[in-house]
Amino acid sequence: MSDILNRLSHCVEFGKIDKLSPYPPDLKGQDGADELARQALDMGIKPGDILDLALIPAMAVVGEKFSKKEIYVPQMLMAAKSMSSAMKHLKPYFKSGETKLKGKFVIGTVSGDLHDIGKNLVAMMIEGGGWEVIDLGVDVSTDKFMKAIDENPGIVIGLSALLTTTMENMKKTVAAVREKHPGSKILVGGAPVTMEYCEKIGADFYSPDPQGAVKYLNTLVI
């Protein structure tokens, strides 16, 4: 059991998606995260154990490496794709309620902003951390965020902005959420965003990197 989970964790950390993936070169021709996750389930390993013992630890290592600038966006995206290729085998168990996730997280780039790389990285890292992620995409209106919150009571909210001109829309969305759902937890991020701005608009948390968001979300899990 531990051998296949270690191999799966290694594939996720280094971005080996499936057997046909040429990257990384030293794993060429070997099974990737896709095949190993399926094999682990076929061996009778519980989906929750695959998540907790292989995928989450691997993505935590990836997040730490990224924070320390030991790897960069391309490597992180490869790791996230590997994680997703394994998660597709686990998701049916989570949706059926057989296995529990830590919670739900909705994320989107605010109205007027079409940038998505940073938002996508955060979404992938949080999913790899054991959360159900609802990704609303880019140019997301306050109404669309509010609809997602109304439909998912207790959901945690993530707002992204890469333009100084759209930070005002982030502020408006936070204000709307605070008015209708005052107890909601709101995370903000993006190149121009700072902790000072986070506090000014009444959000709960800011991190300059995805791993910081994952760590904060883990403090909310009871």
Domains of the chain: 2-71 (1.10.1240), 104-220 (3.40.50.280)
User: What does R_g of the chain's alpha carbons equal in angstroms?
Assistant: 18
* pLDDT value of residue 1: 64
* 197: its two tokens: 């701005």
Average pLDDT of span 191-196: 95
Can you tell me the distance from the alpha carbon of 122 to that of 110, in angstroms, rounded to the nearest whole number?
Answer: 15
- Per DSSP, what are the bridge partners of residue 187? 158, 205
* pLDDT value of residue 36: 98
Q: Is the pTM of this model over 0.75?
A: yes
Q: What tens digit of pLDDT does each residue of 129-143 get? A: 889 999 999 999 999
Q: What tens digit of pLDDT does each residue of 197-220 get? A: 999 999 999 998 888 999 999 999
Confidence category of residue 99, pLDDT binned at 50, 70, 90: confident
Number of H helices, E strands in the chain: 10, 5
**Cα distances (Å, whole numbers) of residue 171 to 63, 66, 168, 182:** 27, 28, 5, 15
- Cis-peptide, bond into residue 24, ω within 30° of zero: yes
* 69: its two tokens: 């600038």
Q: Are 87 and 129 in contact (CB under 8 A)?
A: no
Can you tell me the distance from the alpha carbon of 214 to that of 127, in angstroms, rounded to the nearest whole number?
Answer: 9
Confidence category of residue 39, pLDDT binned at 50, 70, 90: very high
